[in-house]
Amino acid sequence: MTTKIVQLLKALSDETRFELVKLLLTHDFCVGALAHHLRISEAGVSQHLKLLREAGLVKGEKRGYWTHYMVEKSKLDETAELLRELTNLLPCRDGLCIKNLNNKIDCNKEGAKMCDCKCQYPEKLKGKPEECTPEQIKECHGDSEEHPCDDEK
């Protein structure tokens, strides 16, 4: 799912492609008409349409000599829904481990630990592990005598 939404957003992230989609939402156009409206070359329009087709956002329909393009509105709806779903993600119950920010962790799985260093409350840390006071270590890691993250540098 992540790959699909990223491809769709990349296709829409270019200003010209975004303008193409907006134009195609109002009317079906051929490459020549799109080039005229956007004041770019037909070759340029074709390249942008190719990327939009690969993302599944537009399709072409042969009408006589020309191909007219239209937006796949269901793909736009799907993209909007995927973005709406992002707002429904719940924050991690046990905080977030700084060392694993780039890992793909489903923190809402039952029993999942955020990281081996048990740095469950990084917002309570005041600096580097070696700079933490015993009180900070206790507040962040519980009754640990030593800072659990010290050996993971």
Instruction: Answer yes or no: is 111 within a domain.
Output: yes
Instruction: Answer yes or no: is 37 within a domain.
Output: yes
Domain boundaries, position 122? 98-152
Overall domain count for the chain = 2
Domain match, 76 and 130 both = no
Residues of the chain with pLDDT > 90: what percent? 44
0.95 cut: is pTM over it?
no
pLDDT band per the 50, 70, 90 thresholds, residue 116: very low
Instruction: Answer yes or no: is 112 within a domain.
Output: yes
Instruction: Answer yes or no: is 91 within a domain.
Output: no
The whole-number pLDDT of residue 54 equals 93
Instruction: Give the count of beta carbons closer than 10 Å to the beta carbon of residue 116.
Output: 13
The last residue of one of the domains, among 29, 59, 84, is: 84
Domain match, 75 and 108 both = no
The CA distance from 139 to 121, in Å, is 8
Query: Would you call 28 helix, strand, or coil by DSSP?
Result: coil
